[in-house]
Structure 1
Amino acid sequence: MLLDRDGTTSDPWTRSDGAAVDNIAHALVPWEALPEALAHRTADQQIGVAVPNNLRIDEIAAMLPQLSLIAVTFPAFSDGRGFSLARQLRRAGFTGRLRASGPLIVDQFAYALSCGFDEVELPAANAGRQPAEQWQQALHRVGHRYQRGYGNGGSILDRRRAGRLTQAAG
């Protein structure tokens, strides 16, 4: 199941096990096959890559302008390194689709989107346990955050500080 802010969505990307991306308009290749896929792509072809969540940003930074999709693989919902990688990719200037791929849970959806992910791809087993309606409801459960730079409106601490300054000035 593929989910974005609006619910379930179709996936135009075709996974390729290797660098053979001939006649595939939207080819998603594994990290190891990326250099060869980029070397053999056609002008009208879009290339995406599935990367491990422990990839260092400097390993992929030079290729970001050539990519249309980066799917960050989460081996388990408890392994949050992919969230950090998403922030690093956005800060490095990646403007394409950013996908969290793996067994995430509903409670992580709003956080994934605020870290820079555009969509979440779930394995069938997880999708069966947590239907799309639960994912959509989860977007509105948490409205305030302690971390800066995630979502709109500032952090809880920034809001408290602004309130104190307003009181002191008034």
Structure 2
Amino acid sequence: MSQLESSLLDRNGAKPDIWSREASATQRLIPFSELASALAKAGNQPVGVEITNTVRLPELEPHFDRLALIAITFPSFSDGRGFSIAKSLRNAGYRGSLRAVGPLIADQFAYALACGFDEVELPPHVASRQPAAIWLAAARAFRATYQTSHQTGGKSILEQRRAARGRLA
């Protein structure tokens, strides 16, 4: 398996990437600045767009039905704006694939999935330091969360506590 393939993970582990940033690719992941022209040329082809964490929901929402993938870049693992964008996209009704792109750490995997991300694309230096097995173990280590999960519909810690109090009353 190549380094490129091993750097894309979903909740089941490493997966091949069907999207490419190469201009000649059939399923091309395009920068946000090229979205309008790509949509005009795409016809019925799926479109994938890579956005920074400064793009606002109203800029994407009109195109939800045409976007098969939205990849949100994280400039560093400590910049959490991408998580907020993912959650906002899911709350607004986006049903396509969401990808986190950047130097996240394995401890953030469960949270990324709970926010609505389907997959995480890691830079080679992160993927070589933290292989897929570490990411999967980290995702399974967190059973209770402070947020309601978009993936599983799981209840947050607060919702679980309220339900328990209701049973005791």
Question: Common fold, TM-score beyond 0.5?
Answer: yes
For 1:9, the equivalent position in structure 2 comes to 15
| Superposition map of 1:1-170 within 5 A | 1-16=7-22, 24-43=25-44, 45-149=45-149, 151-168=152-169
CA distance in 2, matches of 1:8, 1:146: 27
CA shift in 2, pair 1:69/1:153, >3 Å: closer
Q: Give the stretch that moved more between structures: 100-109 or 24-33.
A: 24-33
Per-residue deviation, 1:149? 4.7
Matched letter for residue 16 of structure 2: S
- TM-score w.r.t. the length of structure 2 is 0.90
Identity fraction in percent? 51
Please provide the CA RMSD for this pair.
1.5
Return the letter of the residue paired with 1:6. Answer: N
Letter in 2 for 1:41: A
Counterpart residue type for residue 104 of structure 2:
L
Please list the CA deviations of residues 25-70 of structure 1 after superposition, one character each: whole Å capped at 9, or x if unmatched: 3111001011111111133x22100000121101111111111110
SS of alignment partner, residue 50 of structure 1: strand
SS, match of residue 39 in structure 1: helix
Match of 1:42, as an amino acid?
G
Consecutive unaligned residues of structure 1, counting only runs of 5 or more, are none
Residue 139 of structure 1: SS of its match in structure 2?
A: helix
TM-superposed CA distance for 1:161, in Å, is 1.8
Does 116-125 or 144-153 show the bigger shift? 144-153
